[in-house]
Structure 1
Amino acid sequence: MRLPRTAHTSRPWRIHEIAGDFRLEDVWALPTPGGPDDLGRLVRQFAEPDRAHVSKPVPRLLFAVRWKIGALLGWDKPGAGVGSRVPTLRDRLPADLRDGERGPDLSDVPFTSVYLTQDEWVTETANRTVHGVMHISWVPDGAGGHRGQMAVLVRPNGRLGAAYMAAIKPFRYAAVYPALIRAIGRKWEAGSASGTGSGADSGPDSGSGSDKGSGPGERAA
């Protein structure tokens, strides 16, 4: 379910002090009911290889078209990414976050982890069009439990980036996000049914694949 911007902006997230020049694009409630310490489980789920969200024909076609256009126009060349066209957000971190857990990079998409706390996980990506941030948080659900929340922040690269974001907006809401949210919920439910990854062992230090202070281009072991 899509949420109002205040669902993100009203909370005291550390990302506010780090990415103040980024635009909040979307906020989504994730169908991941759990206990107060289950962010680590959600982080591990995101980091695992899984293409389920692009298994349907329309999202799969959209992703294929996007990568084909990107290849033709050079949007995704190595020199356009984090650490090349734009500096990593890790350069902006205060000492406590920089020295803390970084979290795992994503396997299926070019997102590298910035930091991980008990209730926030931040990853970033960049190309010729945008510098993007995915903010995954763990919040009370209003019914005595907790769930995940996803916010997307972007910093478009000039007119090209602004035009790109405007062009993909209807496709994101019609196909990409719905497929992604459903896939997240299905995988979470399957993990809950099998009894994997919940409870006290789900915090940042519980095998989420994170390294302390590792660089943005290094994949956490």
Structure 2
Amino acid sequence: MRLPDTAHTLRPWRIHEIAPDFHLEDVWALPTPGGPEDFPRLVRLAANRDSADTPSSAARALVAVRRRLGAWFGWDATGSGVGSRVVTLRERLPADLAAAPPGPVFANRPFTSVYLTGTEWAAEVANRTVHAVVHLAWVPDGAGGHRGQMAVLVKPNGVLGRAYMKAIAPLRHLVVYPPLIRHFGQAWRATPPSGPA
């Protein structure tokens, strides 16, 4: 379920101090009910996901089209990512976060962990269109438990990046994120709390 921006902006997340120049695109509630100790399980699940695993054929087709366009136009070329076109957000971390391990390595996607706490995790990706952050958080669900929450923050790269984000907004909201959120829930239910995520 998509949430209002305030579900992210009114919470005291560390990402606010680290990426104040990024625009909040979306906030989503994840169907991942659990207890206060279950956040590491959510982080492992997210880091091990593969966008090609989504059960939605429309979302898979969009991912394939985006990869093809990226190859044609050089959007994902060497030199366009974190550490080359943009400086990693790890350079902005306060001392306490910089001294801690950043979080897991992504197995199947071009994201890089920025920082990890007991209730939030941020990972970044960049290409010629944007520098983006996926922020996962563990929030009280109002019924005595907790659930995951995902926010997407973006810093477009000039006119191309702004046009790209505007063009893909309807596709993200209607085709990409709803099956992604459902898939999160299915994977969460299929993974025992004590098992690997």
TM range (shorter): over 0.9
Aligned to 2:32, the other structure's residue is in SS state: coil
The amino acid of 1:145's aligned partner reads: G
Supply the AA of the counterpart residue of 1:184: F
2:175 matched to 1:175? yes
Structure 1 residue ranges, 4+ long, deviating more than 2 angstroms after superposition: 49-56, 194-198
Deviations 1:164-201 (A, max 9, x none): 0011011111110011001100000111xx44349xxx
Structure 1 distance, partners of 2:52, 2:90, is 30
Contact 1:122 1:133 in 2 (8 A): yes
Distance 2:59 2:90 in 1: 31
Map of 1:40 onto structure 2: 40
Give the whole-Å Cα distance in 2 for the aligned partners of 1:108 and 1:31. 22
Is the alpha carbon distance of 1:181 and 1:52 closer, same or farther for their aligned partners in structure 2, counting shifts above 3 Å?
Answer: farther
User: SS in structure 2 opposite 1:31?
Assistant: coil
Q: Is the 8 A contact 2:38 2:193 kept in 1?
A: no
Calculate the aligned-residue CA RMSD, in Å: 1.5
Please list, as runs of the form range in 1=range in 2, the aligned pairs for 1:79-118 lying within 5 A after superposition.
Answer: 79-118=79-118
The question of whether the paired residues in 2 share the 8 Å contact of 1:52 and 1:183 is answered with: no
Cα displacement (A) at 1:48: 1.7
Q: TM-score, normalised by structure 1?
A: 0.86
Report the Cα offset of residue 109 of structure 1: 1.4
Task: Give the counterpart letter for 2:129 in structure 1.
Answer: T
Structure 2 counterpart of 1:136: 136
Partner of 2:10: 10
Where does residue 196 of structure 1 map in the other structure?
A: 194
User: Quick one: which amino acid aligns to residue 36 of structure 1?
Assistant: P
8 Å Cα contact 1:105/1:123 also seen in 2: no
So what's the TM-score if we normalise by structure 2? 0.96
Deviates further, 72-81 or 40-49: 40-49
User: Which structure 1 segments of 5+ residues have no match?
Assistant: 199-207, 209-221
Task: Give the structure 1 partner of residue 75 of structure 2.
Answer: 75
Give how far 1:121 is off: 0.4
**Does the residue aligned with 1:7 lie in a helix, a strand or coil?**
helix
Among the aligned pairs, what percent are the same residue?
64
Q: How many residues align?
A: 197
Describe the SS at the equivalent of 1:122: strand
Partner of 2:147: 147
